[in-house]
Amino acid sequence: MLGVIGGSGFYTFFGSDARAINLDTPYGAPSAPITVGTVGAHEVAFLPRHGVNHEFAPHTVPYRANMWALRALGVRRIFGPCAVGSLIPGLGPGAMVVPDQLVDRTSGREDTYFDSGGIHIGFADPYCPTLRAAAADLPGVVDGGTVVVIQGPRFSTRAESRWFASQGFTLVNMTGYPEAVLARELEMCYAAIALVTDLDAGIATGEGVRAIDVFAEFERNLVSFKKLVHEAIDNVGIERTCTHCLPHDGVELPFDLP
């Protein structure tokens, strides 16, 4: 089973024929019931990251519960569509990007399942290369880029935005971490697919980033963005062949993975 975690403005993925599943986890309930349907030859589980009515801010999303629930349901490969700001003037609103790196600038988020024992995972390349290729090979998609994940819920100051850009970062987002690392700990393939909704505050002049404008831009591109996610799913093979996202080979874990 494949998984899709929808971001801001991306709250549904299937029609009324999909079935809803309520799950509980050792980390509480996920953001919303998981809906299961089909895309081409794949069975797909969809979970809105922020809840059905956007009741979870980026720093309050139950990330550990979300990823655990998807794994328990049988998901082993996940696409994470998300809204991002651009740190590059030439990469404007409406662009769709498949990043290959992330930088964590969050604080205080529960970002591991391994609170005891000496369990360490490799995370040099945080996204699954197989899933990245399935999305990045599509027409019009920008392949590669570094997303810096900020704590939120506020947007960056102009100085922060210019600082991020000076470091060579491409995109700024509030939810990409710890989602990606939790997927790796649970040995699930994960790749982000980013929709640019704005130029960040230090990159463009004017009032700076406003939430109302971000949501409006996302809504304008939602149909084409969902189409891209469908096409990426169609590009994924039926059998999982990736070994990059299996970091626990030969390691004795303190608990069984769901």
- CA-to-CA distance for 165 and 159, rounded, in angstroms? 10
Cβ atoms of 75 and 2 within 8 Å: the answer is yes
Two tokens, residue 200: 């960040």
156 in any annotated domain: yes
Domain residues for the domain of 181 are: 2-235
If one counts the domains in the chain, the total is 1
250 in any annotated domain: no
254 in any annotated domain: no
253 in any annotated domain: no
117 in any annotated domain: yes
246 in any annotated domain: no
pLDDT 10s digits, 77-93 = 999 999 999 999 999 99
What is the helix (H) or strand (E) element at residue 34, kind and residue range? Answer: strand 34-39
Enzyme catalytic residues: 198, 200
Q: Is 174 annotated as a binding residue?
A: yes
231 in any annotated domain: yes
pLDDT 10s digits, 52-84 = 999 999 999 999 999 999 999 999 999 999 999
Q: Is 8 annotated as a binding residue?
A: yes
What is the helix (H) or strand (E) element at residue 38, kind and residue range? Answer: strand 34-39
Q: Is 50 annotated as a binding residue?
A: yes
257 in any annotated domain: no
- CA-to-CA distance for 6 and 12, rounded, in angstroms? 8
pLDDT 10s digits, 215-242 = 787 788 788 999 999 999 999 999 999 9
What is the helix (H) or strand (E) element at residue 212, kind and residue range? Answer: helix 211-234
* CATH code at position 77: 3.40.50.1580
pLDDT 10s digits, 111-164 = 999 988 789 999 999 999 999 999 999 999 999 999 999 999 999 999 999 999
